[in-house]
Amino acid sequence: MNRHLPLVAALFAAALAVWWPLPGHAEEGKVPTDGVDFARDVRPLLAANCFHCHGPDEQEGGLRLDGREAFFTGGVSGPAVEQGASASSHLIARLRSDDEDQRMPPDADPLSAEQVALVARWIDEGAIWPEGVGDRDVAGAEHWAYRRPQPPERPAVRQTSWPRNEIDTFVLARLEREGLEPSPSAEPATLLRRLYLDLIGLPPSVAEVEAFIADPSPAAFEATVDRLLASPRFGEKWARSWLDLARYADSNGYQADQLREMWAYRDWVIAALNDDMPYDQFTIEQIAGDLLPEATLEQRIATGFHRTPTCNIEAGVDPEENRTNQVVDRVNTTATVWLGTTLDCARCHTHKYDPFTQREYYQLFAYFNHTPLEVKQAEARSVQFDFFGPKMELPLTPEKRRKRAKIEAELAEPRAQLKEAEARALESLADWEAALTAGQVQPSKELPAGKIKQLQQVLAKPREEQTAYERSRLEDYFLATREETRELRATIGRLEAELARHAADTTLVMIEMPEPRETHVFKRGEFLQPGDKVTAGVPDVLHALPEDAEPTRLGLARWLIDPASPLAARVRVNHFWTEIFGRGLVATGGDFGTQGSPPSHPELLDWLALTIMDDGWS
């Protein structure tokens, strides 16, 4: 098979030929046939439905359900559960109540009968809550997502002839454990349609369907996959999901919603996917391409990933607040895209559920804090602002280069003629100045009110006291009012305006300030209340920074994609799975933390994560 994106190709080969139902968790209403696992099956239900009123912020009725000790202690009504006896447990009674005033959760859809049955079964099995689960002090050591993927054992299956590859084996093992059968093989026409829509986003033609039906062999399937992976449409289709993660937009947002040039970054993503750029390189160039030694044009364009936040240019905006908000966006997006982690709440306080402190948030903030202001006041007396964030000029296209050369050639003659005409006109400048001083010159209708008086005030000074700027203004006005130069100036102005319409395009890029900013912990997240000073660093719960890591975006990028990371590869393969199936192995793709969904197939997730790294991140 084509080397292009081997993991994606394998997913299609395994996934599209047979469409299996993914076995569900508690939220899908399927009670596991094996023992109920609290962390996998019950705690996600409690987190989604109960923690808002019975968690770290609020404990209605004195009941807190997010910690082991508090859970079994209960509230003012006594213990919430009686271990081994769901029928007499207060929690089950409230979940099943027909009285809307008594049923939990209030003001929300009730849990399904299957979900309540799952909680009841857990209680009947002894309500086993393993030590450390939900305990923030040990969550980093215990939570599955913060531990490195381990090579899983190939699961044993009864239907040994059904799996076509490792992915099939993991899926079949789970199906058999749930007492389910695989769906029948897809018809060739259905298979081909899935293949086209998921790889290039377009349906096959009638002729292509007929040809595939005529030869539905594995070799024909593989050849079709290779052909679609090699299509330019592949990058265009798959770039869409990445650009969504990158919060791509062609305007700044807010009420003004001013347009900005970002298409070069969009095209870079498409080209990178079509070229099968390894994910580690794909990461480094987007986070810190400008900091690479002898960075290329394309590597600098790639940093447009972090130039996509909204930018406020409305009247009264505080430029530093705007810049700070963009840095916050970069921190949060980086954490979501590469770590599958929601860090936003740690901007104001230590994370309530996951092992990330407020100080660690601002250590990550420090990596992105050395950026210049991106808005400035439009004029000295204006309340409006202009967007001027760091831009890079792109090479001229061949068409623009040709048009500019033609216009420059047309400009040569009138410019030469104007130079000669101005030289002749300046010979009479002294006479004009004398007439202006004597009030014998009538002001131009185009001259702003009071301008003639300003010019007369300049001329009232002795020549040696006039500044170079004042002399230049006098000459400019004099030449602009000469009949012999006016027509030439109009011609030149028209051609120069045409030349400007064919100027080089620009794109927004990241740059570092020559002198780095100090970074402080903002009290309650308020940029006007800086607290303790911090330096660049990463969360303690995750893999360590290499000793020689630079305290720059480049150092952060290399840390993000380090093979020691427990998250980067898992999050990436989950992106792939979500794009193909519509739902990831981890349903909460942006939250692999303790409040997110556990993986439906944890061994398969780890196998995929290790495989993508072993294949050179392709």
Residue 34 structural domain: 18-185+580-618
Q: Residue 24: which residues within 8 A CB-CB, separation 6 or more?
A: 30, 600
Domain count, the chain: 3
Top pLDDT among 434 and 348 is at 348
Residue 266 CB neighbours (<10 A): 21
Is there a domain that residue 10 lies in? no
Residues 384 and 412 in one domain: no
Residues 47 and 171 in one domain: yes
Is there a domain that residue 572 lies in? no
Q: Residue 37: which residues within 8 A CB-CB, separation 6 or more?
A: none
Residues 240 and 382 in one domain: yes
Query: Among 479, 503, 527, which residue terminates a domain?
Result: 503
**Cα 350 from Cα 342, distance rounded (Å):** 12
Of the pLDDT bands very low, low, confident and very high (cuts 50, 70, 90), residue 159 is very high
Residues 453 and 528 in one domain: no
**Cα 410 from Cα 124, distance rounded (Å):** 90
Please compute the mean of the pLDDT values over residues 176-186 and round it to a whole number: 89
Residues 157 and 69 in one domain: yes
Q: Write out the two tokens for 146.
A: 């913060």
Residues 384 and 402 in one domain: no
Residues 386 and 439 in one domain: no
Is there a domain that residue 191 lies in? no
Residues 559 and 601 in one domain: no
Is there a domain that residue 610 lies in? yes
Which of 70-79, 370-379, 478-487, 541-550 bottoms out in mean pLDDT, i.e. has the lowest? Answer: 370-379
Nearest to 239 by CA among 283, 290, 273: 273
Question: Is the predicted pLDDT of residue 351 greater than 90, yes or no?
Answer: no
Residues 22 and 142 in one domain: yes
- The DSSP string of 322-378 is HHHHHHHHHHHHHHHHHH----GGGGTS--SSSS--HHHHHHHHHHH------EEES
Question: Is the predicted pLDDT of residue 158 greater than 90, yes or no?
Answer: yes
**Cα 251 from Cα 140, distance rounded (Å):** 39
8 A C-beta contact, residue 27 and residue 45: yes
Nearest to 152 by CA among 618, 566, 609: 609
Of the pLDDT bands very low, low, confident and very high (cuts 50, 70, 90), residue 1 is very low
Of the pLDDT bands very low, low, confident and very high (cuts 50, 70, 90), residue 21 is very low
How far lies 304's CA from each of 37, 283, 286, 341, 568, in Å?
43, 12, 7, 22, 21
pTM score of the predicted model: 0.77
Is there a domain that residue 238 lies in? yes
Residues 135 and 29 in one domain: yes
Name the maximum alpha-carbon separation found in the chain: 110
Q: Write out the two tokens for 53.
A: 């009123």
Is there a domain that residue 199 lies in? no
Query: Among 478, 503, 528, which residue terminates a domain?
Result: 503
3-state secondary structure of 160: coil
Question: What is the pLDDT of the chain when averaged over all its residues?
Answer: 84
Residues 61 and 174 in one domain: yes
**Cα 365 from Cα 551, distance rounded (Å):** 11
Q: Hey, which residues does 375 pair with through a beta bridge?
A: 387
CB under 8 Å, gap of 24 or more: what pairs does 383-389 form? 383/315, 383/316, 384/313, 384/315, 385/312, 385/313, 385/314, 385/315, 385/317, 385/319, 386/313, 387/252, 387/258, 387/260, 387/311, 387/313, 389/307, 389/311, 389/508
Residues 44 and 126 in one domain: yes
Of the pLDDT bands very low, low, confident and very high (cuts 50, 70, 90), residue 100 is confident
Task: Give the DSSP H or E segment for 387.
Answer: strand 385-387
* Residue 448 confidence (pLDDT): 54
Exposure string of 333-359, with b = 16+ CB inside 10 Å and e = fewer, is bbbbbbbbbbbbbbbeeebebbbbbbe
8 A C-beta contact, residue 586 and residue 340: yes
Query: Among 565, 593, 608, which residue terminates a domain?
Result: 565
Task: Give the DSSP H or E segment for 235.
Answer: helix 232-245
**Cα 126 from Cα 121, distance rounded (Å):** 9
Q: Write out the two tokens for 257.
A: 């919603």
Is there a domain that residue 415 lies in? yes
Give the dihedral of Cα atoms 214, 217, 218, 224; nearest 10 deg. -20
CA 124, 130, 135, 140 dihedral sign is negative
Q: Write out the two tokens for 468.
A: 């170079």
* Residue 80 confidence (pLDDT): 87
Is there a domain that residue 571 lies in? no
